[in-house]
Amino acid sequence: MAMGMGRATRRMQGSNSVSVLLVSLLLVAAATGVSSRATYTGSSTARAGSTVTATAPPKKHVDGKKQQVPALVVFGDSIVDPGNNNAISTIVKANFAPYGHDFGADHRPTGRFCNGRIPTDFIASRLGLKQLLPAYLAPNLSRHDLLTGVSFASGGTGYDPLTAQLASVISMTDQLRMFDDYKARVRAAAGDAALSEILARGVFAVCAGSDDVANTYFTMRARSSYSHASYASLIVAHATAFLDGLLAAGARRVAVISMPPIGCVPSQRTLSGGMGRECSPGHNEIAELVNAGMGTAVESLKARHPGARVTLMDIYGYLLDMMVRPDGYGFRESRLGCCGTGMMEVAVLCNGVTSAVCGDVEEYLFWDSYHPTEKAYRILVDYVYDNYLKDLIA
């Protein structure tokens, strides 16, 4: 870690305050574009990705894995956004180098906030569905894409409606509206029986909340009247409402990814961790409060929706251990990202013009200052699958 701090100090050369300012400007610029952003209206003809192309029937095996469920359908933020933000008017994007540094044979940026694949790609593969889970707003979705699942996630969003507004991205409420459109397209493409099968046996994954804490509450101070506890309660209330709506829309197997130790990601260490860039206790306190509240909320939702399976996949402790003991997971660096200085670069700040890439990505837990590397995601998904998803689909 001392070596990593030395590297960062030399490369920063006193620019830490400038980086903080750039992040603030990034968020402010997003906020000023709210009135003009392309808001999803619920019409499949009003946006990109409305074309459905007939293809061969879905394969029953992916890399030798038997297809275990009919589809994987995902909602959330940049951790699980495979490129929906490419199709909307926002500066929160990752469809440029060096994003995609290790993605496929052509190493191309796709809109994933990572050097390669993201968690939902690995989950789709583990479920025997396909190698990559596509964005719902991707152009020319195939029939196979629709029937085996898509992601509605939008980088920069959160359970708190204000978070999506500030970042000019797709809100969780709008993602539910997109899901209604998706159901209509599945019904048109394959009939009521196919849709019923997806709703009954598909996996519906939800990952959000980090941007509420990191961006809305701490960086933008947009909820300054809330204490840590009251803001956590606000997040839980909105998350519960979203999940209630998803279950009411027919989903029966729902996996909710818990809040991570957001105060320990590189950018939050830089912004709130003091001179030593320690984990920010305030961020982690809210995350822990949200996770506790979501545990109670999940039990209430199961009681309210008999027959539904809802599980809270707790990644907090496991990811914290990866951050504290990176060498135990095959990493050397967990306090800095691979992109640029590793302290602040994320989204437009991590670019091919101003940001060099580290020498060996495999040694880094984080790709940029906020998002883990493909290698870290693979390890995390193995944990989630073995400890939660296997039971959910049994």
Would you tell me how many other CB atoms lie within 10 Å of the CB of residue 193? Answer: 9
**Burial profile 25-44: b = 16 or more Cβ within 10 angstroms, e = fewer:** ebbeebeeeeeebebbeeeb
Catalytic residue numbers read 78, 368, 371
Torsion of CA 290, 215, 180, 57, to 10 degrees: -90
Q: How far apart are CA 346 and CA 208, in angstroms?
A: 17
Nearest-angstrom CA–CA distance, 242 and 91: 25
Rg (CA), the chain: 20
Classify strands 61-62 and 65-66 as parallel, antiparallel or unpaired: antiparallel
Element (H, E) at 201: helix 192-201
The contacts of residue 77 (CB under 8 Å, 6+ apart) are: 153, 154, 155, 156, 157, 158, 207, 208, 209, 210, 211
